[in-house]
Chains A and B, each alone.
Chain A
Amino acid sequence: MAQRLIAWIDQRFPLTSFIKRELTDYLTPRNLSYWWNFGFLAGFLLMLQIISGVFLAMHYKPDVNLAFDSVQHIMREVNYGWLIRYLHSTGASAFFVVVYIHMARTLYYGSYRAPRELMWWSGQVLLILLMASAFMGYLLPWGQMSYWGAQVITSLFGATPLIGDEIVLWLRGDFVVGDATLNRFFALHYLVPFFIVGMVIIHLVALHHVKSSNPSGINLADKDNIPFHPYFTAKDLFGLGVFLIIFCGFVFFAPEFFIEAANNIPANPLQTPPHIVPEWYFLPFYTILRAIPDTLGGVVAMGLSILIFAAMPFLDRSRIPGGARFRPFYRAMFYIFMVDVAVLAYVGSQPPGGLTFKIGVAATVIYFAAFLTLPFLSRWEERWLRARGLPPALQALLDSETEPKPRREAR
């Protein structure tokens, strides 16, 4: 019966061949480490956010007089409303953790290099969409931080030359963040995730075309590739289990960990909180914004600090495979960059001024310097490595890859 049903479908829709091509016959390098688990986790979180978000939207009211109360209604009266909301609020932070690790893995292993540039760029678009969605979602609880965060960030667009004020007005739908802003942010917050889904599909189609990168950084001989299913479905599901244990630890035992105390106070346009901080995942970029004394310059620098990742395929001129593994200088730079981002994040969480401000400026300079020196460093490093003689293992890998391989006969 089941077989006849599948046969019926297969005549009309390529179900079996699709599963075969994309899962059971889809070849994946067998040496992928757990760092390759995070794309799958990001996909899981996207689903979790969409599902929990739809249920929240059934009880939430995007109205300045009702929004804060409706969140408390969800927390107190709706069946398991607290669970849905804490899944969603913790899920947002987890999403960024997972995506940032996913990006760091790509940077470390050089997975952005040819032929995976389009994966990297579609990922860049995904990051921006995710940030937009998170930013708009943060306004919805209508707490003090929601309100003032949105007020500050939207006012940044006022730095646009000539038409700044018009843009701010257009974004907010009012002269200040108000009911019009809340309504449109709600509408867009519900819309953007579907763009994300579309972009994820593009990301995956590209992935299945170029195949996964792997820690060695070169394309492995066919014998080192294994079908995605069952090997990586099993591995990814185990990784998901580990992730869920940590995630649920936060959801059930420290759900307010990622929620600012001030956001438990209803938005009050007349009272500015003493210290406005964005969500933690924006902190590094917030520091870069504040490090430049001029508003327009700060906004441009902040925009560039996110967009500059897209230039990585051009900036990295080295042809040594394996990302940072065989490249001591790139590796050092990677770790310096990671520390630098952490410093930027810390500075972003502190009130402006004083020594922390100076550290923030220094960290901003290092941030951009890392990208801008990369073309020179990567070229020089390659020459240096070749002059010293590549490690035999790497040389062997390179040799096995340089000649165009004839189709491998089954041995």
Chain B
Amino acid sequence: MSLRMFICFISLLTAQAAWGEGALKDVEIDHSPAALRRGAATVTSVCLPCHSLKYLHYRDLLKLGFSPEEVTGLSMGNKPEAALLALMPPDIGEQTYGRVPPDLSLMAKAREGGPHYTYSLLTGFYQDKTGETNNHLYPSIRMPDILGWSSADAAQRAVLETQANEATAFLVWAADPRAAERKRLGYYTIAYLVLLTGLLYLIKRKVWARLG
């Protein structure tokens, strides 16, 4: 974990230098179960019209602590085994935006800066002098300012920040749903190995003591 954070930190530093002032925002992402669930609701309602998360199935959302009824609510008539596909067919996306909106399942791992990239993208929209919306992180991006960040005032922005944060947390989970399981197993494995290695050290000492 700390190593990962170290890497994030380094890439943030270099990214900051490369992108200029404040393009990648270094915020603490809230990974609490409640935040993940709110993030899931945001992503399925706000992003799913355009983006897929094709490696996730609606039933996977149960693992976030949703009840089956809530999952049925989120799945908008889709079967629980169905993948989270965009409502907009790819060719329409291509026609409308000149590019199929990319799949978001792995987005949290697929850009330098990891989750900070997505967060900064969502909260990086602004209105330029001609009144066009643009993005600090991804200039002339073809995605609309979906949260309405560029026209929000300070009070609204506080709400949107939380929303972007939670959506990002959900995308981090979506990119690696096994992370919690992995870490849990990791603690046991390392504890076991430390014990085993300690014993092996004692055995080694004992065996070598015979040499005098």
Chain B 1-32 against A: per-residue CB contact (8 Å), 1 yes, 0 no? Answer: 10110010000000000000000000000000
Interface residues of B in 144-195 (CB under 8 A from A): 175-178, 182-183, 185-187, 189-190, 193-194
Contacting A262 at CB < 8 Å: which of B110, B178, B187, B190? B110
Asked if residues B204 and A245 are in contact (CB atoms below 8 Å), the reply is no
CB distance from A102 to the nearest CB of B (A): 21
Whether A238 contacts B197 in the complex (CB less than 8 A), given A76-B55, A253-B4, A261-B110, comes out as yes
* Chain B residue at minimal CB-CB distance from A30: B211
CB distance from B171 to the nearest CB of A (A): 12
Asked if A265 lies at the interface with its beta carbon under 8 angstroms from chain B, I say: yes
Contacting B193 at CB < 8 Å: which of A231, A237, A241, A265? A241
Asked if B109 lies at the interface with its beta carbon under 8 angstroms from chain A, I say: yes
Interface residues of A in 57-90 (CB under 8 A from B): 69, 72, 75-76, 82-83, 86
Asked if residues A226 and B211 are in contact (CB atoms below 8 Å), the reply is yes
Q: Within 8 Å CB of B186, what residues of A?
A: 248-249, 251-253
Asked if B201 lies at the interface with its beta carbon under 8 angstroms from chain A, I say: yes
Asked if A114 lies at the interface with its beta carbon under 8 angstroms from chain B, I say: no
Chain A 238-269 against B: per-residue CB contact (8 Å), 1 yes, 0 no? Answer: 10011011001111111111000110110000
CB distance from B158 to the nearest CB of A (A): 30
Q: Within 8 Å CB of A234, what residues of B?
A: 200, 203-204, 207-208
Asked if A235 lies at the interface with its beta carbon under 8 angstroms from chain B, I say: yes
Asked if A230 lies at the interface with its beta carbon under 8 angstroms from chain B, I say: yes
Chain A 142-172 against B: per-residue CB contact (8 Å), 1 yes, 0 no? Answer: 0000000000000000000000000000000
* Chain A residue at minimal CB-CB distance from B102: A265
Whether A82 contacts B193 in the complex (CB less than 8 A), given A238-B200, A257-B3, comes out as no
CB distance from B67 to the nearest CB of A (A): 22
The docked-state distance in angstroms from the alpha carbon of A75 to that of B203 is 38
> Do most interface residues of chain A lie in helix, strand or loop, or is the interface mixed?
helix
Tally of A interface residues using CB under 8 Å? 33
Asked if B111 lies at the interface with its beta carbon under 8 angstroms from chain A, I say: yes
Asked if residues B203 and A245 are in contact (CB atoms below 8 Å), the reply is no
Asked if B134 lies at the interface with its beta carbon under 8 angstroms from chain A, I say: no
Q: Within 8 Å CB of B109, what residues of A?
A: 256, 261, 264
Interface residues of B in 84-121 (CB under 8 A from A): 102, 105-106, 109-112, 114
CB distance from B174 to the nearest CB of A (A): 10
Q: Within 8 Å CB of A256, what residues of B?
A: 4, 109
The docked-state distance in angstroms from the alpha carbon of A235 to that of B207 is 9
Q: Within 8 Å CB of A250, what residues of B?
A: 3
Contacting B190 at CB < 8 Å: which of A248, A255, A265? A248
Q: Within 8 Å CB of A235, what residues of B?
A: 204, 208
CB distance from A13 to the nearest CB of B (A): 29
Seen from chain A, the residues whose Cβ lies within 8 Å of a Cβ on chain B are: 30, 69, 72, 75-76, 82-83, 86, 226, 230-231, 234-235, 237-238, 241-242, 244-245, 248-257, 261-262, 264-265
Seen from chain B, the residues whose Cβ lies within 8 Å of a Cβ on chain A are: 1, 3-4, 7, 55, 102, 105-106, 109-112, 114, 175-178, 182-183, 185-187, 189-190, 193-194, 196-197, 200-201, 203-204, 207-208, 211
7 closest A-B pairs (Cβ-Cβ)? A252-B186, A241-B197, A264-B110, A234-B204, A238-B200, A254-B3, A264-B106
New A-B pairs, 11, CB < 8 Å, besides A242-B197, A256-B109: A72-B105, A226-B211, A231-B207, A241-B201, A244-B193, A245-B194, A251-B186, A252-B189, A253-B1, A254-B4, A261-B111
- Give 22 CB contacts A-B under 8 Å: A72-B105, A75-B176, A76-B55, A76-B178, A230-B207, A231-B211, A234-B203, A237-B200, A237-B204, A238-B200, A238-B203, A245-B193, A245-B197, A248-B189, A249-B3, A249-B190, A252-B187, A253-B4, A257-B4, A264-B106, A264-B110, A264-B175
